[in-house]
A and B are shown apart, each in its own frame.
Chain A
Amino acid sequence: GAGVSQSPSNKVTEKGKDVELRCDPISGHTALYWYRQSLGQGLEFLIYFQGNSAPDKSGLPSDRFSAERTGGSVSTLTIQRTQQEDSAVYLCASSLMGQGTEAFFGQGTRLTVV
């Protein structure tokens, strides 16, 4: 596609439910990032993929958070047993190589846990 695509754009879920957020990176981009942004805050790094492997998962806040990437393309971020503090905008970005190259962002998924 022309840019990074994320779905859904908005998600409202009840506390305790699991959610899956999807990211379609730019075709051919080997690096994929997930970030979280709370209202009025900066971008908090969650996880980085190079191809299908994740050399850096250091930003995942708890074991309720997991992510996978298949075929070197689509990535899914899963949050189990959601909590209210998980409410945020989840942003995905991709880049051609990863290190020292520009990352392109999607529009984000706004997650609200009620």
Chain B
Amino acid sequence: GESVGLHLPTLSVQEGDNSIINCAYSNSASDYFIWYKQESGKGPQFIIDIRSNMDKRQGQRVTVLLNKTVKHLSLQIAATQPGDSAVYFCAENVSGGSNYKLTFGKGTLLTVNP
């Protein structure tokens, strides 16, 4: 999950297992959420997004769950592969307000062991 400390939270899984990465977001007015994947030396890449009128959205091998009551977001990766090893960030945005910026969480380092 997310942390406010200096070190990234880490999650280590075996290849083929399912991974769950958690994120606690801060703004109760946020209504748009994105998960990004950042590989070493690269910029973040979009994985999946979800709007607040949904509580679940599925992509290819990934599922995002949104619990607005407790302001919690999770990313589930099915059958995790070594290529999934990266830092994963959640981001939140208030789409209808004047605050345009995407606010990012601290990130979680996922390591997939072969």
Contacts and interface: CB of A to CB of B under 8 A. Distances in A.
Interface string B15-58: 00000000000000001101010000111111001010000000
A55 B99 CA distance: 9
Interface of B: 6-8, 31-32, 34, 36, 41-46, 49, 51, 89, 93-107
Contacts, number: 69
- Chain B interface, DSSP helix/strand/loop, else mixed: loop
B34 A102 contact: yes
Contacts of B95: 99-100
Contacts of B7: 40
A33 B104 contact: no
Interface in A39-66: 40-43, 45, 48, 50, 55-56, 59
Interface residues of A, number: 27
Interface of A: 4, 31, 33, 35, 40-43, 45, 48, 50, 55-56, 59, 91, 93, 98-108
Given A100-B51, A102-B46, A105-B45, A43 B89 contact: yes
Given A91-B43, A100-B51, A41 B106 contact: yes
